[in-house]
Amino acid sequence: MQKWLAVVGIGEDGVAGLSAIAQSLVNQAEVWVGGARHLALLPAGDRRETLVWDTPLHRTVDEICRRRGTAVCVLASGDPMCHGIGVTLLRRVPLAEMTIVPAPSAFSLTCARLGWPLADVETLSLTNRPPAAIAPFVYPGARLLVLSANRTTPASVATLLTQLGFGSSQITVLEHMGGEQERQIEGTAAEWSASDTIPDTIPNFADLNTLAIACRADPTTRSLSRFPGLPDAAFDHDGQLTKREVRAITLSTLAPLPGELLWDVGAGCGSIAIEWLRSHPRCRAIAIERHPKRLQYIADNAIALGVPQLQIVAGDAPLALKDLPSPDAIFIGGGATVEGVFEVCWAALRSGGRLVINAVTLESEQQVLDWQHQRGGDLIRVGIQRVEPIGSFLGWKPLAPITQWHVFKP
C-alpha cells in the first residue's frame, strides 16, 4: 500500500514554519488530526475533516487506522519520534505506510536557548508518568531536560527535588519556543515548592512547557547511586530485605541489560526489582508478593526510589505467575521450596535467560542443590559480617549465610 499517513512536526510558528515537503503533506491531506492547539494553526475556514485527540488516546488512533488508505495528516509538537505520537502510531501502522517529517524537538530548542550540549544532558518526559520518575537521574551536577505534563508539573518537580535534598537546583521553564509568546521563567526548587501552588510572584505556566534543571545538592544531601547496592535504610521493610552486600552480588549476577524483563518472585520489599529498574530506564520488572503489608512496602519504595513503572502482582506463586510475559531473568528470593514455583519459572524463562535463587534455610538449600544437580549452573556461598557493639566493645556479627545458585536456560 502507498504511504497514506503523514506525521508532521509543527512549531509555534505554524504552517509558515514548515518545510516545503511538510506543507505539501498538510495540503494534500483529506483528514487532519491533532490537538486543538495544532488544528488552530491551520488555515481558517477549511472544511476538511478534522479529528481532535480523544481520551484515552487509543480511540483516536483507532479512528486513524479505520481511515487506512485515505490521506491523513497528523500534526505533532516538534519531533514526533521524541516522546511523541509517531512512536505510538508505529505500533499500529507499518513504517512503509507512513511519512514522518520532524520539526526541532523541545529538547533541541531548549539546548539552543541555554547553550547546553544535548549529548551531555538527560532527557525525560513526564507527560504520562509521575514526577518521581526523574529521581534516579538526580545527582550533583546533573542537567535534566523534562517535558511537562501540564502547568502544574514545574511545582510538582520542585517539591520532589526539595524532598530529595536538591532544593538549591535551578529550574528554567521554557514556553512557546519559536513563537511570539516565547518566554523563560527561572527559579529554584526550594522557592517553587514553598507552597502547594506557585507563589503569586511567579507567573502561571502554560500547559505546554519544558523544564531545564541544573541539579545542585544541598550541603547535607547524600545522593543515591544508580549502581546496585543501595543502603538498607533506603527501603521501608519488615525485615524481609535482601541485605545490601548480598543485593549487590545478586544484581551483578542477574546482570540487567536495557529492555530486559525481570520476575522478582517473593519480592519482600521489592529491593531487587527496584534496583534492576534503576540500572537503566528501559529495564522492566514485575514484583510478585502475597503479603499485603509487603505489597505496600514495594509500592512505596518504588515511588520513593524513582521507578513508579514497577509492575506489582499480588498473589501466591506459582498461581500468580500465570499469564505473565516471558522474562529474561528471574530472581527467587522467597518461596523456593513451594511446590511448582521452580518448574513454572523455568518453563516461562526464555531460552538464554538466567535464573538466580538465594537460599537461606537448610530446606531451600537442599532444594537448590537438587536443582543444580539436574540443571547445572554455578553455586556460591556468601557470608557477610558487620561490626556491631558488644557491650562497650566492637565485634563482628555475621549475617545469615546465603547459598546462591545461578543458571542459564539452554
Domain match, 248 and 126 both: no
Amino acid letter, 30 = E
For residue 334, the domain's CATH number is 3.40.50.150
- Give CA separation, 169 vs 74, 189, 198, 306, 349, in Å: 37, 6, 16, 18, 43
Nearest by Cα to 342 from 265, 246, 244: 265
- 47, three cell numbers: 472544511
Q: Based on the domain organization, do 388 and 244 belong to the same domain?
A: yes
- 194 and 237 inside one domain: no
- Beta-bridged to residue 356, according to DSSP, are 331, 406
CATH number, residue 93: 3.40.1010.10
Q: What is the CATH number of the domain that holds 162?
A: 3.30.950.10
Return the SS3 of 263. strand
Instruction: Clarify whether residues 347 and 205 are in a common domain.
Output: no
Neighbour tally for 236: CB within 10 Å: 16
pLDDT (average), residues 170-196: 89
Mean pLDDT across 245-256: 97
Closest alpha carbon to 161 in 173, 150, 169, 153: 169
Residues 6+ apart with CB under 8 A from 139: 215, 217, 223
Angle at which helices 271-278 and 244-254 pack, to 10 degrees?
60
More confident residue, 46 or 312: 312
Alpha-carbon distance of 281 to 303, in angstroms, equals 14
Final residue of a structural domain among 37, 72, 103: 103
Let me know if residue 220 belongs to a domain: no
pLDDT digits (tens, 9 = 90+) for 189-235: 999 886 555 555 556 899 999 999 999 999 999 999 999 999 999 99
Q: Which residues of 258-269 are buried (b: 16+ CB within 10 A; e: fewer)?
A: eebbbbbbbbbb
**Helical segments of 115-198, H only:** 153-163, 189-192
Mean pLDDT of the chain: 94
User: What per-residue confidence (pLDDT) applies to 203?
Assistant: 61
pLDDT band at 240 (very low <50, low <70, confident <90, very high): confident
Which pLDDT score, from 0 to 100, does residue 73 have?
98
**277 pLDDT more than 70:** yes
Q: In this structure, are 335 and 282 located in the same domain? A: yes
- Average pLDDT of 84-112? 97
Residue 37 lies in a domain: yes
Residue 27 within any structural domain of the chain: yes
User: Which residues touch 87 (CB under 8 Å, ≥6 apart)?
Assistant: 80, 81
pLDDT (0 to 100) of residue 335: 85
CA distance 96 to 98: 6
Domain count of the chain? Answer: 3
Shared domain for 366 and 271, answered yes or no, is: yes
Give me the pLDDT at residue 86, please.
97
Q: What are 346-404's pLDDT values in tens digits?
A: 999 999 999 999 999 999 999 999 999 999 999 999 999 999 999 999 999 999 999 99
Residue 300 lies in a domain: yes
- Residue 222 in any domain: the answer is no
- 249 and 341 share a domain? yes
Under 8 Å between Cβ of 407 and 251: no
Q: Are residues 299 and 385 in the same domain?
A: yes
Give the pairing type, strands 49-52 and 31-34: parallel
Residues sharing a CB contact under 8 Å with residue 294, sequence separation 6 or more, in sequence order = 237, 238, 240, 267, 268, 269
CA distance 47 to 103: 26
Q: What are the tens digits of pLDDT across the range 120-146? A: 999 999 998 999 999 999 999 999 999
Q: Which amino acid is at 334?
A: G
What pLDDT shows up at residue 198?
Answer: 52
Contact present, 152 and 131 (Cβ < 8 Å): no
Q: In what order do the strands lie in the sheet with 402-408?
A: 311-314, 284-289, 261-265, 329-332, 354-359, 402-408, 378-382
Question: For a pLDDT cut of 90, what percent of the chain falls above it?
Answer: 90
Neighbours of 188 (CB within 10 A): 18
Position 407 pLDDT exceeds 60: yes
pLDDT given at position 196 = 52
pLDDT in tens, 302-343: 999 999 999 999 999 999 999 999 999 999 998 889 999 999
- Mean of pLDDT values over 49-75: 96
User: What number is the average pLDDT over the span 274-295?
Assistant: 97
| Cβ-contact 133, 40 below 8 angstroms | no
Shared-domain flag, residues 170 and 261? no
Indicate whether 28 and 124 sit together in one domain.
Answer: no
Q: What is the mean pLDDT of residues 35-59?
A: 92
Q: Of 103, 123, 140, at which residue does a domain stop?
A: 103
Which residue range(s) make up the domain with 55?
A: 5-103
Per-residue model confidence (pLDDT) at position 5:
98
Residue 201 C-alpha from the chain's centroid: 33
Among 163, 179, 214, residue at a domain's last position: 214
Query: In terms of domains, do 363 and 351 share one?
Result: yes
- 86 and 112 share a domain? no
- Answer whether residue 226 is part of any domain: no
Residue 241, in any domain of the structure:
yes
Confirm whether 113 is domain-assigned.
yes
Assess contact for 198 and 204: CB atoms under 8 A: yes
Cα-to-chain-centroid distance, residue 101: 27
Tell me the three cell numbers of residue 202. Answer: 511567579
Average pLDDT over residues 5-12: 96
Phi/psi for 304 (5° steps) reads -65, -30
